[in-house]
Structure 1
């Protein structure tokens, strides 16, 4: 099999294709390290909560270590989640143009090999989790049930994006569990806001596969909303901003955090105004831009945490 044949349809010209050892490429593609945007989107709520909790505590002493551990954990566990998703979706992936070149349906990796790789990634994630306190460890483990059921949701509900939101936003709880040893109303508001954000951006992402999904009977909010997608995004993105704003108010965050939220809100508004659901390439670009939206908010939260720690 040529290297070109081994590439995933919607991921070409990346470092995995050009620089990674050939034997490792199917596994790196399984964990989506050729497309790290999902890892960033899993990581960002972790960073939000770490910075906001540090601000509440007026202490940033452990924040650099927590940020680094969250980075490793998010990339590893997103890889494990994608591997599990590809194992469970292998038959569906073979029937969709964009996904039929993924390693399992393309025959680059067997299901047994993928399962072994899944276990290895999960063990690395566990090693990261064990660096935290007992409450944080238990909180992290609790997320696994959501991750396990997510791939099956598209078969039974038009709202699989809600379940993805529950999983991808879990980090909004983890920063509080790690830093403060609790999950309070501030963490809950941040979590709820992040869920609304995920529903919005994953609806945009799902429009890439809307036609294929309709043909094979897979459900999504993209199909549910259809031509009303922009109106739905206004609702969910507005809820995200309001709920995250509630978290900032509960945390008594300062001006930098609110400026970060304002930049985040402006970016979400730009996404809605730019979106054309019939243009898959544009949908993918707008989806990917959510990393920048999330980092704008994180920058504000981080600056606020630093200032609050400096003026205790």
Structure 2
């Protein structure tokens, strides 16, 4: 139980209530305690007891927190805590109304997805590790190429089978397509680029060489024991590979998905096509890449345009 000695008795009682009667997790109780400490401090600064606060006070507190640079999610969490306290205080007969009811945290802009530059993506995709086991190298190279070539989610990559069957996804190398089942059970087919096809062909040629003649695992990508590779293993292998390739930051599979989307959009300008390739149900989800594309263009402008460059001296 967090230290509540600095809290006023009504606030202490509420922390005791959520800890013992509602049995919230220790971490959650600590967050509630921090939120109530913040509420008490801001009330004291405004010259009021906590139980005397009204909606205008809460709105001013939210505005002050936002001005201090607090993230919208943090403010929303504290508002939820305050709302719960005043609702409970009303049940106790200590207040007539809940001053936090109807007050929402300011919206925080969604962060831009992290994507590699084209040169970095090509550097990673073309990387060959001369010290790696040839079997591991063939598999990891094929996974990296396919993630960047087709923009698959890591779960979609892991569920691929080597050929059509009863699974959730499969590779059709001859047609140059992967068929996957995405979120919500939505099926889609995505093209496979020529470099990825070559890497996949090399992997398929060596895929079964470590196992017995009776080995019949349908998964396209397998581990050293012959079972379907896990999403966690894909994350670890790609992170290690990106570091070996000399990239400044470790890369995870979703970075390659973002890179795929951003680079296709930069080249084609076709947002609907990118939506279909990514398997987004709503185009609003895909539109975030237009912000990323604009950021790229703005950086190019700042570097290239004579009137955009800052004067030295």
Fold in common (TM above 0.5): no
Q: Which structure has more RCO (C-alpha within 8 Å, separation ≥ 6)?
A: 1
Q: What is the TM-score normalised by the length of structure 1?
A: 0.25
Greater percentage in strand? 2
Q: What is the TM-score normalised by the length of structure 2?
A: 0.25
Greater percentage in helix? 1
Larger Rg: 2
